[in-house]
């Protein structure tokens, strides 16, 4: 989600790792009335290098950490050829360590935020909803395995460890619902040093970062009383952290690309206040076996082609871009044109107050041929309030 | 119209009678509606209203229940929000009165409800939820008082000039609590506004304030908007129904549930509110006849000219209808205005005896207005029917004949028929009550009451003839009295109707007084038997069925340990649903019911429990209302819903109690505390050591304990009776309206009768009777009518009183009352009636005697 998980840690040429600020943390800060985010870390666990990932345990929740999230986006096609895009994100945030947890059971409970969106290209509609729960009967993130709930939104692992199958159920208000099976066809990709992702110079600023870049997706969509089968591909991030936002970051642009040749790309551009990509901006290629290779992302690799202004929020987002990325495998420059399937894919965080753009895109080569599908996330375009929240 | 312009006063009088009758009916209906509709679960929220509400038979949801509900909802999208409610006493009005101002405090799951902004951003009270989120809403003050954030209504803010950031002090349970105003909720256009008595808090804050972690009383479900919303709701209802751990309420069932609790009370009020209209019908009938008498020359002329009887009848009925329409229209306005006052009386009774009512005003209701208007018109048409028929059917020659004695009205003089109907009523009184889903309806009792009123109407007029021989020996043979009594020997139809109306008014009003007096006598007896402790301690503000203030365990333990206290009986009460109906579970301070000093036994428990085959089963005793409502008997096993599941107990005895009509089942306190995991006390009955001074102990405890009130035995008894009288305040108003209408009717009858007898008056004057003498004769004539009505009304009231006490009350409320005749009230009524009749008829006699003889009439 926007905030989704955008916590991506990439290895810079200098050997430094970077952690983009996350909308997730921003939202939670706003909702939870956190006044001293910096102080929050001291009582939560800190990701450490050399962590031995164990599955399915690490698919599940890590309540000893302050924040974690599970983020899924995907492109779907119905049997009659209509295209859809979707996003589902589940956040878990442990309480403020300064809350009176000893005497108050409620205050010690995790907070659960979630986002869901569906793009219906046939009807040119974008539906979305945000949810916030604190009660354990309404929402939970179980330990030991992936089993998440936020009202009737559910995400859980069904079977398999190396290439597992997941189930995602959700709805948007009364007239949109989805029931999907997501089967991994590539093994898990661990970003950073074997999944340990440093986020800054401070060794405490780090995360565990796991991604399934290709999930074969089948299931049912129900729109306005009519159910139909769909299939397609999805992307899933799971990240665990107790970190904080960088002071000089004003937002980020993030993409996940699934190329037709079997490779995937994840790239993000951390924006500084002068609208430049800061040194932590990264692009990562994921090969057909799920192995990732990281490179720094320069400003000239990410060129904005077109902007779109939201009629709702008046925010202007750079929704259409051209990428020029070094392709180490081919030893060439990979050029691609990302075109949104629909401009108005803006998420309005009515509860959190955070606005961002999270949209399904088509990936074209310089000749205009479709070479893949993508999801792009654009955050920090909501003005000063968003900026201050990010910090 | 010509009649209206020539006789505007009588026209105004007819319309006024109907207006008063319609107003009484309409105002009570509106007040009833407001008192039960203004506080359903569905109105106690901010912004959007829930689509479904789950309530629990034990009154409290456990966390396990909440998980189960979520599992049942499965994939159905909805916002699920637990709600907790309590009452808070306004600390600004500290005192010992049982009538302290109380707030209804609603604890909302603001986290869950903030999701509603996606359902309807316009209706969701977004700003209120943000106010909660952005504020640190719980803190501890320097003086140790807890402080919480609260959202108040616009009505309260206006009333007390409050704004965001202000603070108010209340008592929740037995603790002083500071509430800091986070937000003032906006009034919803075209929807019921929040009354000034409601406060909204975050549920977690309220749980903290009540020291009851995890407690919730109901669960609200909000379904997302869209074309599939109704499908989702139906599916959810289907999944959730048929689970004995909770009940699914819709807005309508919730309204019905509240309505069923107060049904008997409201039904009685509605019937009583029709009293003025019933009495008024006699007067309209009489007035219409007077108009026909005045117009009989015209009728005869019209008939001679060939106008058909049907046309004449239609013309008179149309006139009746006009009276009905005009009077009812005025009645609606009067009634609506009266309802604003009546709603407070009704709501205060509902608060004291039944549920928490937040109603402060009665909204106009179209269907009630149409009903009242129709009733007024029908009453007017029915009253005009007989006079109109007579005017149409009587031959012209007969109509020209002067001095007719009242035509159809003399048909009232049928004592034998009346006696027959009275016997039918007696049979009906012994019919068993009609059972429905909410309890028993005393249909036989109501039928008997109707038949006896009808019988009294037919018998009482005959009594007028007996008055002259009865009074003559007492007054001597003075010309004034002889002239007055001569009228009684040949009474006109108007005399008969006046007597009938007075009989009905006195009878029905007296019957209610009989019942109230019996109730009061029984209450006093019950109080003297049951309230024997020296002191009664309760949380400040507790004093009614709707109050939820409790004392913490620490508080009651501290009081119990006082050196001057011999024994302290801790009382608890929990509202529960038994067999789908609301009732109460209360605690006995003893394990053996025979040791319970509070109980005034109707069926005493056996002293040898071994007589029962279920000796190991926990025992319970039930009050009479419970026994009657749920048709249970000694040794029956009943299953009581608790947060720990259903608990089976054996009924060991039945005791008298008049605190509520919904029934009470009492079980050993240790069991109740364990079942509900709640040690808080509703009250403590304190027995002092010999020689200890109650006042001194009271003052000593109060000096170190805040948030509680302590009443001595005497004060408590007085206050119980005060609340008792308050609950019948509406009844008294309606009774006096009926009496006033009857007196007005008698005055009208006298005016009409005397105007007709002007020639007779002229002759009397010529014979030497003074104006004073004629005025006195008129007064005596009126007094004789009034006394006749009073005597027969008294007989009717005794019958109706017996019916109310022994049949209707027992069947509807389950209370056995001790009959007591309200002699004092009856004598007062006789005196007041006599004075009013004299005051109204003597001036009429004086006025008529000064008039010149008119040719026209």
Better-scored residue on pLDDT, B419 or A2:
B419
For residues B394-416, average pLDDT: 60
Query: Which of the residues A106, A127, A147 would you substitute to probe the B interface, choosing the one with the greatest number of B C-beta atoms within 10 Å?
Result: A106
pLDDT above 70: percentage of residues in chain B: 78
The candidate with the shortest Cα–Cα distance to B79, out of B106, B57, B110, is: B110
Q: Are residues B724 and B690 in the same domain?
A: no
Predicted ipTM of the assembly: 0.87
Distance CA B120, CA B32 (A): 32
DSSP per-residue string spanning A37-57: SGGGGGGS----TT----TTG
- Domain total for chain B? 4
Half-sphere exposure of B333 (CA within 13 A, CB side): 6
pLDDT, tens only, B705-717: 877 888 888 887 7
Q: Which of B136, B207, B213 sits opposite A33 (nearest CB)?
A: B136
**pLDDT value of position B359:** 54
Contact at CB, B134 and A350, closer than 8 angstroms: no
pLDDT at A94: 84
pLDDT in the model for residue A28: 40
Q: Indicate whether B689 and B722 sit together in one domain.
A: no
Label residue B381 by pLDDT band (50, 70, 90): confident
pLDDT digits (tens, 9 = 90+) for B58-110: 888 988 899 999 999 988 999 999 999 888 888 765 554 545 567 889 999 88
Among the partner residues B77, B109, B111, nearest to A151 by beta-carbon distance: B77
A89 in contact with B, Cβ within 8 Å = no
Q: Is residue B450 part of a domain?
A: no
Tokens 């947890």 belong to A101
Confidence of residue B438 (pLDDT cuts 50, 70, 90): low
Q: Show the tokens assigned to B604.
A: 């005493």
Torsion of CA B785, B787, B788, B791, to 10 degrees: 160
Domain housing A376: 10-390
- The pLDDT, as a whole number, for residue B543 is 55
Show the tokens assigned to A384: 């000063």
Residue A98 has pLDDT above 60, yes or no: no
* Separate counts of helices (H) and strands (E) for chain A: 2, 25
Per-residue tokens: B114: 């903030």
Q: Do B636 and B676 fall within a single domain?
A: yes
pLDDT digits (tens, 9 = 90+) for B174-211: 888 899 998 888 765 445 567 788 899 989 889 988 88
Who has greater pLDDT, B652 or B446?
A: B652
pLDDT digits (tens, 9 = 90+) for B265-310: 666 667 666 666 677 777 667 666 666 666 666 777 777 777 787 8
CB neighbours of residue B259 within 10 Å: 16
Nearest CA in chain A to B76: A152
**CB within 8 Å of B1: residues ≥ 6 apart:** none
The tens digit of pLDDT for each residue in A216-229 reads: 999 999 998 899 99
Residues B541 and B686 in one domain: yes
On whether both B591 and B616 belong to a single domain, the answer is: yes
CA distance linking residue B206 with residue A292, whole number of Å: 52
DSSP state of B43: G
Q: What is the pLDDT of residue B431?
A: 87
- Of A150-159, B508-517, B626-635, the range with the lowest mean pLDDT is B508-517
**What confidence category does residue B702 fall into, taking pLDDT thresholds of 50, 70 and 90?**
confident
Q: Is residue A5 part of a domain?
A: no
Q: Which of B77, B115, B207 sits opposite A174 (nearest CB)?
A: B77
The pLDDT score that the predictor gives to residue B552 is 86
Instruction: Please indicate, yes or no, whether residues B6 and B38 belong to a single structural domain of this protein.
Output: yes
The pLDDT score that the predictor gives to residue B389 is 76
A370-379, B239-248, B379-388: the lowest-pLDDT one: B379-388
* Predicted local confidence at residue A87, as pLDDT: 97
Which position has the higher pLDDT, B786 or B132?
Answer: B786
Q: Looking at the structure, do residues B698 and B759 belong to the same domain, yes or no?
A: no
Nearest to A31 among B133, B226, B227 (CB): B133
Q: Report the pLDDT value the prediction gives residue B528, as an integer from 0 to 100.
A: 77
| More confident position, B279 or B769 | B769
State how far residue B211 is from chain A, nearest Cα, in angstroms.
10
A133 to chain B, any CB pair closer than 8 A? The answer is yes
pLDDT in tens, A171-180: 999 999 999 9
Is residue A4 a part of any domain in this protein? no
Element (DSSP H or E) covering residue B470: helix B443-475
Share of chain A above pLDDT 90, in %: 57
pLDDT above 70: residue B663: yes
pLDDT in tens, A306-333: 999 999 999 999 999 999 999 877 789 9
Q: pLDDT tens, B24-51?
A: 777 777 776 665 554 456 666 777 788 9
Q: Does B205 touch chain A (CB under 8 A)?
A: no
**A31, pLDDT greater than 50:** no
Residue A3 included in any domain: no
Taking residues B376-394, report their average pLDDT. Answer: 76
> What is the arithmetic mean of pLDDT over B622-633?
87
The pLDDT mean for chain A works out to 82
pTM tops 0.80, yes or no: no
Question: Average model confidence (pLDDT) for chain B?
Answer: 79
B421-430, B520-529, B800-809: least confidently modelled range: B520-529
Residue B837: predicted pLDDT: 83
A102-132: b (≥16 Cβ within 10 Å) or e: eebebbebbbbbbbbbbbbbeeeebbbbbbb
Domain identity same for B489 and B570: no
Nearest residue to B2 via CA among B294, B280, B285, B312: B294
d(CA B652, CA B620): 6
Name the residue with tokens 């859809």: A84
Measured between CB atoms, which of B66, B70, B115 is closest to A132?
Answer: B115
Nearest CA in chain A to B208: A104
DSSP A205: S
Q: What is the pLDDT of residue B298?
A: 73
B833 has pLDDT over 70: yes
> Rounded to whole angstroms, how far apart are CA atoms B651 and A254?
71
Reduced to 3 states, what is the DSSP secondary structure of residue A237? strand
B630 plus B540 within the same structural domain: yes
Do B397 and B285 sit in the same domain of this protein? yes
Strand partners, B650: B619, B637
Per-residue pLDDT averaged across B532-558, rounded?
Answer: 78
Are B484 and B554 part of one and the same domain?
A: no
> For residue B251, what pLDDT is reported?
73
| CA–CA dist B69, A158 (Å, integer) | 24
Any idea what DSSP says for residue B806? I
| Set of chain B residues whose Cβ sits within 8 Å of the Cβ of A130 | 115, 118
Contact A106 B204 (CB under 8 A): yes
**What pLDDT does residue B175 have?**
83
| Element (DSSP H or E) covering residue B419 | helix B415-429
Residue span of the structural domain in which B108 resides: 84-117+126-205
Domain boundary among B381, B401, B421: B401
Sign of CA dihedral B179, B183, B186, B192: negative
- Pairing verdict, β A302-309 and A316-327: antiparallel
CATH code (residue A22): 2.40.370.10
Kindly tell me if the per-residue pLDDT of A4 is higher than 70. Answer: no
Written as six digits, the tokens of B437 are 């889903």
Which one of A133, A135, A174 has the shortest CB-CB distance to B224? A174
In contact, B624 and B657? CB cutoff 8 Å = yes
A-chain residue closest to B114, CA distance: A351
CA dist., res. B415 & res. B425, Å (int): 15
C-alpha A157/C-alpha A67 separation (Å) is 20
Strand boundaries in B190-281, DSSP class E: 198-202, 218-222, 247-249
Residue B296 maps to a domain = yes
How many Cβ atoms are within 10 Å of B470's Cβ, its own excluded?
15
First to last CA, chain B: 18
Which 3 state secondary structure label does DSSP give A91?
strand
pLDDT in tens, B323-374: 888 888 888 888 777 777 666 666 666 555 554 554 556 667 777 788 888 8
H or E element that contains A92: strand A83-93
Band of residue A19 on the pLDDT scale cut at 50, 70, 90: very low
Query: How many CB pairs below 8 Å do chains A and B form together?
Result: 92
In sequence order, what are the residues at sequence separation of 6 or more whose Cβ sits closer than 8 angstroms to the Cβ of residue A336?
A: A257, A322, A323, A325, A363, A364, A365, A371, A372
Task: Please choose, from the candidates A130, A174, A132, the residue with its C-alpha nearest in 3D space to the C-alpha of residue B77.
Answer: A174
Residues B769 and B820 grouped into a single domain: yes
| pLDDT higher than threshold 50 for residue B439 | yes
Tokens of B328: 């009812």
- How high is the pLDDT of residue A217? 98
Closest CA in chain B for residue A134: B111
Note the pLDDT tens digit of each residue in A242-275.
864 566 677 889 999 999 999 999 998 888 878 8
Cβ–Cβ under 8 Å, residues B54 and B218: yes
- pLDDT score for A169: 97
Provide the pLDDT for residue A5. 32
Domain assignment present for B661: yes
Q: Which residues does chain B have within 8 Å of residue A137's beta carbon, measured at their own beta carbons? A: 63, 66-67, 69-70, 80
Average confidence (pLDDT) over B733-761? 73
Distance between CA atoms of A373 and A341, rounded to whole angstroms?
A: 10
**Given CA atoms B91, B93, B94, B100 in this order, what sign does their dihedral have?**
negative
B555 vs B287: CA distance, rounded Å: 67
pLDDT band for position B420 (cuts 50, 70, 90): very high
DSSP B171-205: EETTEEEEEEEEEEPPPPTTSPPPPTTEEEEEHHH
Q: Could you tell me if residue B230 is inside a domain?
A: no
> Testing the interface with B: which of A138, A142, A149 to mutate, by most B Cβ within 10 A?
A138
> What span, in angstroms and rounded, lies between the C-alpha atoms of B201 and B195?
15
What total number of domains does chain A contain? 1
In a domain, B519, yes or no: yes
Establish if A220 belongs to a structural domain.
yes
pLDDT exceeds cutoff 60 at A36: no
Residue A295, domain member (yes or no) = yes
For residue B696, give the 3-state DSSP assignment.
Answer: helix
């Amino acid at each position: 989600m926007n905030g989704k998980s955008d916590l991506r840690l990439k290895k810079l040429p200098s050997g430094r790792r970077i952690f983009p600020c996350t909308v997730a943390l921003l939202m939670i800060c706003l909702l939870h009335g956190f006044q001293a985010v910096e102080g929050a870390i001291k009582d939560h666990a800190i990701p450490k290098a050399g962590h031995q990932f164990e599955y399915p345990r690490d698919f599940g929740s890590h309540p000893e950490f302050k924040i974690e999230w599970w983020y899924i986006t995907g492109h779907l096609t119905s049997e009659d050829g209509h295209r859809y895009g979707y996003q589902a994100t589940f956040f878990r945030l442990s309480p403020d360590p300064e809350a009176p947890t000893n005497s108050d059971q409620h205050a010690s409970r995790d907070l659960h935020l979630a986002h869901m969106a569906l793009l219906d290209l046939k009807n040119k509609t974008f539906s979305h909803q945000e949810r916030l729960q604190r009660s354990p009967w309404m929402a939970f993130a179980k330990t030991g395995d992936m089993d998440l709930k936020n009202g009737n939104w559910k995400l859980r692992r069904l079977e398999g460890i190396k290439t597992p199958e997941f189930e995602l159920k959700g709805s948007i208000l009364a007239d949109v619902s989805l029931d999907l099976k997501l089967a991994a066809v590539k093994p898990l990709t661990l970003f950073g040093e074997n999944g340990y992702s440093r986020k800054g110079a401070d060794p405490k600023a780090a995360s565990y970062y796991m991604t399934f870049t290709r999930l074969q997706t089948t299931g049912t969509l129900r729109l306005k009383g009519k159910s139909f089968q769909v299939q397609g591909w999805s992307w899933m991030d799971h990240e665990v952290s107790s970190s904080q936002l960088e002071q000089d970051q004003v937002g980020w642009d993030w993409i996940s690309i699934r190329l037709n040749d079997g490779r995937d790309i994840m790239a993000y551009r951390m924006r500084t206040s002068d609208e430049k990509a800061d040194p932590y901006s990264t692009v990562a290629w994921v090969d057909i076996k799920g192995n990732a290779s990281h490179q720094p992302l320069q400003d000239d690799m990410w060129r904005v082609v077109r902007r779109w202004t939201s009629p709702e929020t008046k925010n202007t987002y750079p929704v259409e871009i051209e990428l020029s990325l070094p392709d180490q495998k081919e030893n060439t420059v990979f050029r691609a044109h990302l075109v949104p399937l629909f401009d108005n894919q803006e998420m309005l965080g009515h509860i959190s107050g955070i606005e961002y753009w999270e949209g399904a895109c088509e990936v074209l080569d310089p000749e205009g041929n479709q070479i893949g599908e993508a999801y792009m996330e654009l955050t920090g375009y909501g003005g000063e309030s968003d900026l201050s929240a990010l910090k | 119209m010509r009649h209206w312009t020539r006789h505007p006063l009588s026209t105004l009088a007819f319309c006024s009678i109907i207006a008063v009758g319609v107003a009484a009916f309409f105002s009570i209906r509106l007040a009833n509606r407001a008192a039960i509709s203004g506080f359903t679960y569905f109105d106690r929220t901010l912004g959007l209203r829930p689509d479904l509400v789950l309530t629990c038979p034990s009154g409290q949801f456990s966390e396990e229940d909440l998980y189960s509900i979520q599992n049942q909802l499965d994939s159905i999208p909805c916002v699920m929000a637990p709600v907790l409610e309590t009452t808070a006493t306004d600390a600004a009005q500290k005192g010992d009165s049982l009538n302290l101002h109380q707030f209804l405090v609603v604890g909302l799951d603001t986290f869950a409800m903030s999701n509603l902004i996606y359902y309807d951003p316009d209706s969701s009270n977004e700003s209120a939820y943000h106010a909660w989120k952005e504020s640190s809403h719980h803190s501890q003050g320097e003086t140790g008082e807890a402080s919480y954030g609260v959202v108040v209504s616009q009505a309260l803010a206006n009333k007390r000039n409050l704004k965001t950031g202000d603070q108010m002090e209340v008592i929740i349970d037995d603790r002083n609590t500071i509430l800091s105003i986070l937000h003032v909720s906006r009034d919803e256009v075209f929807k019921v506004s929040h009354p000034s008595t409601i406060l909204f808090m975050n549920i977690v804050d309220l749980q903290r304030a009540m020291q009851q972690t995890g407690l919730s009383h109901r669960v609200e479900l909000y379904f997302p908007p869209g074309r599939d919303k109704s499908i989702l709701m139906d599916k959810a209802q289907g999944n959730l129904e048929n689970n004995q751990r909770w009940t699914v309420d819709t807005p309508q069932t919730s309204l019905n549930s509240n309505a069923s609790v107060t049904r008997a009370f409201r039904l009685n009020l509605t019937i009583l509110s029709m009293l003025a209209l019933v009495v008024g019908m006699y007067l309209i009938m009489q007035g219409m006849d007077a108009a026909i008498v005045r117009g009989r020359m015209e009728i005869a002329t019209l008939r001679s000219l060939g106008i058909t009887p049907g046309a004449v009848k239609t013309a008179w009925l149309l006139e009746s209808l006009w009276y009905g329409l005009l009077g009812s229209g005025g009645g609606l306005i009067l009634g609506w205005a009266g309802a604003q006052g009546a709603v407070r009386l009704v709501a205060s009774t509902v608060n004291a005896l039944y549920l928490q009512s937040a109603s402060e005003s009665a909204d106009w209701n179209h269907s009630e207005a149409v009903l009242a208007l129709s009733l007024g018109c029908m009453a007017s048409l029915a009253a005009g029917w007989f006079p109109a028929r007579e005017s149409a059917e009587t031959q012209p020659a007969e109509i020209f004949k002067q001095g007719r004695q009242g035509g159809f009205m003399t048909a009232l003089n049928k004592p034998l028929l009346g006696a027959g109907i009275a016997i039918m009523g007696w049979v009906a009184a012994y019919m068993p009550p009609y059972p429905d889903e909410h309890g028993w309806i005393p249909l036989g009792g109501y039928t008997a009451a109707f038949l006896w009123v009808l019988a009294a109407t037919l018998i009482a007029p005959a009594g007028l003839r007996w008055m002259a021989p009865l009074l003559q020996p007492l007054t001597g043979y003075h010309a004034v009295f002889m002239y007055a009594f001569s009228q009684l020997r040949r009474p006109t139809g108007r005399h008969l109707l006046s007597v009938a109306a007075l009989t009905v008014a006195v009878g029905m009003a007296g019957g209610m007084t009989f019942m109230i007096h019996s109730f009061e006598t029984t209450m006093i007896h019950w109080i003297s038997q049951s309230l024997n402790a020296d002191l009664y301690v309760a949380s400040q503000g507790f004093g009614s069925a709707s109050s939820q203030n409790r004392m913490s365990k620490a508080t009651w333990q501290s009081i119990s340990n006082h050196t001057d206290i011999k024994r302290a009986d801790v009382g608890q009460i929990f509202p529960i649903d038994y067999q789908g109906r609301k009732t109460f579970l209360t605690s006995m301070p003893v394990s053996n019911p025979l040791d319970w000093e509070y109980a005034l036994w109707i069926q005493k428990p056996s002293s040898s429990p071994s007589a029962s085959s279920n000796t190991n089963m926990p025992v319970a005793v039930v009050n009479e209302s419970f026994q009657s409502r749920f048709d249970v008997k000694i040794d029956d096993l009943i299953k009581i819903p608790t947060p720990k599941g259903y608990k089976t107990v054996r009924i060991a005895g039945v005791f008298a109690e008049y605190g509520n009509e919904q029934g009470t089942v009492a079980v050993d306190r240790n069991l109740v505390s364990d079942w509900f995991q709640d040690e808080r006390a509703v009250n403590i009955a304190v027995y002092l050591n010999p020689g200890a001074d109650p006042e001194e102990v009271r003052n000593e405890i109060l000096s170190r304990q805040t948030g509680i009130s302590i009443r001595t035995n005497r004060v408590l008894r007085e206050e119980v009776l005060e609340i008792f009288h308050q609950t019948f305040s509406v009844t008294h108003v309606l009774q006096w309206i009926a009496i006033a209408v009857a007196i007005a009717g008698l005055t009208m009858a006298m005016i009409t009768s005397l105007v007709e007898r002007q020639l007779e008056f002229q002759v009397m004057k010529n014979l030497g009777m003074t104006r004073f003498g004629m005025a006195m004769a008129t007064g005596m004539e009126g007094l004789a009518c009034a006394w006749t009505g009073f005597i027969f009304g008294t007989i009717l009231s005794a019958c109706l009183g017996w019916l109310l006490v022994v049949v209707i009350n027992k069947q509807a409320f389950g209370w056995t009352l001790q009959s007591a005749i309200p002699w004092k009230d009856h004598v007062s009524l006789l005196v007041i009636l006599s004075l009013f009749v004299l005051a109204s008829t003597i001036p009429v006699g004086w006025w008529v005697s000064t008039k010149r003889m008119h040719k026209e009439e």
